[in-house]
Amino acid sequence: MEQTWRWFGPDDAVRLPQIRQAGASGIVTALHHIPYGVVWSVDEISKRRDMIADDAELGLRWSVVESLPVAEAIKLGEGDLAALFDNYRQSIRNLAACGVTTICYNFMAVLDWTRTELAFRLPGGGTALRFNADAFAAFDCYILERPGAEADHSEDVLRRAKAWVARASQSDKDRLLATIMAGLPGAYDRYDVPGLRRMLDRYHGIDHAALRANYARFLREVVPAAEEAGVSLCVHPDDPPRDLFGLPRVVSSADDLQFIVDACPSVANGITFCTGALGAGAQNDVPAMAARFAPHIRFAHLRNVTKNADGSFMEADHLGGDVDMVAVVTTLLKEQARRKQAGKANWRIPFRPDHGHELCDDIGRGTHPGYPLIGRLKGLAEIRGVMTAVASTAGLPM
């Protein structure tokens, strides 16, 4: 499996030599400065590719795009989308022309990954990302004041949410909004409360069936161009894998993944298998899903979560938490071996250590939330150890 690392570009506090020190050889990055829906030009792509490969001693390459964003109008099925589809197809072609042929994207409405705490304190003083059901309900019901929101939360969670609001200062509420917005990377729009209400209003009447239909249309429009260019598109699951703010989520379960691969059957229509995003859903048997969808996995995010019965969860150690990481890695290595035996040229599955704990000298360093250096280095080292042990024992290629 190709060891990769997410890098947010030249402004990232984590530098390319440090990524090489961590043991990664592939870079996962995106052109975050380009607005949604605008073509990624060959010039801009080449500039980022060459920046990564500039120091030959490091031996780094741009392995995966994360993400080539889908414009909100496409998710909404809103207006004349021909130009947006054309632009997305052209970006795919331009990336392929520059040698970047694995593209991660998501189809989450309005928000990307969502948490309520960015620095939950761990024993010893490290910090982790956390999703608290009561804080989320407090925001949904009593700050955002979304009509009908109370029906989406249990009585116990609502009771604790009211208590949260009662003791919260305005700065607490502002911090919670900023935390919920933190999953939108790069220069993407952040919303204040009125702005978020307006975005949610645009989705009025869009249910699961409608969003699935819009997603299937997107796949039919762009997958043929990806296949022709030799590109693998791989969708990232919803994070967390549940409806939020009344917005439907359609990449949250095994049923959803089956719908996606069936909606546009193609070698170019693949999956980013994120053990943390899927693992946050009580309905998901992550090792079983890895085995079921292994032929469609083109990229993997390996991290772990610990769940609570009320829907809360926390980012755990990469080999801790609720997901059997050894079982997942074993499945991915076996799938690689199958592809190699079948003569596939690109048989290795790129993976990256996803969200890590903020540890040691990274605390207060100002890295992107969830993306410190040391916590991810620790996770990559642990996963590398699992890979080595499994591959050696089972006689599988790394």
Q: Is 296 a catalytic residue?
A: no
* 340 to 267, 329, 360: CA distances (angstroms): 16, 16, 40
Question: What are the CB-based long-range contacts (under 8 Å, 24+) for 150-156?
Answer: 152/243, 152/246, 154/310, 156/310
Q: Is 360 a catalytic residue?
A: no
Q: Is 236 a catalytic residue?
A: yes
Q: Is 33 a catalytic residue?
A: no
Other C-beta atoms lying within 10 Å of the C-beta of residue 121: 11
**Closest by CA position to 132, among listed 166, 163, 157:** 157
Q: Is 371 a catalytic residue?
A: yes
Q: Is 337 exposed, middle or buried (0-12, 13-18, 19+ CB in 10 A)?
A: middle
Q: At CA 217, angle to CA 105 and CA 288, rounded to 5? A: 55
* 267 to 38, 180, 183, 219, 234: CA distances (angstroms): 26, 35, 29, 12, 10
DSSP string, 114-129: --SEEEEE-TTS-EEE
User: Residues 153, 296, 301, 318: which is the catalytic one?
Assistant: 301
- Most distant CA atoms of the chain, gap in Å: 62
Q: Is 301 a catalytic residue?
A: yes
* Phi, psi (degrees; rounded to nearest 5) at 31: -95, 75
User: Residues 152, 239, 354, 362: which is the catalytic one?
Assistant: 354
DSSP string, 214-263: HHHHHHHHHHHHHHHHT-EEEEEPPSSSS-BTTB--SSSSHHHHHHHHHH
User: Residues 88, 105, 142, 371: which is the catalytic one?
Assistant: 371
User: Residues 98, 234, 236, 318: which is the catalytic one?
Assistant: 236
Q: Which residues of 177-208 are buried (b: 16+ CB within 10 A; e: fewer)?
A: bebbbbbbbeeeeebeeeebeebbeebeebee
User: Residues 153, 296, 318, 355: which is the catalytic one?
Assistant: 355
* Residues across the chain: 398
For the sheet with 127-131, list strands across it: 117-121, 127-131, 313-316, 304-307
* Phi, psi (degrees; rounded to nearest 5) at 321: 75, -165
CA atoms within 13 A on the CB side of 130: 17
User: Residues 274, 296, 318, 357: which is the catalytic one?
Assistant: 274
Q: What amino acid positions are annotated as catalytic residues?
A: 236, 274, 301, 354-355, 371
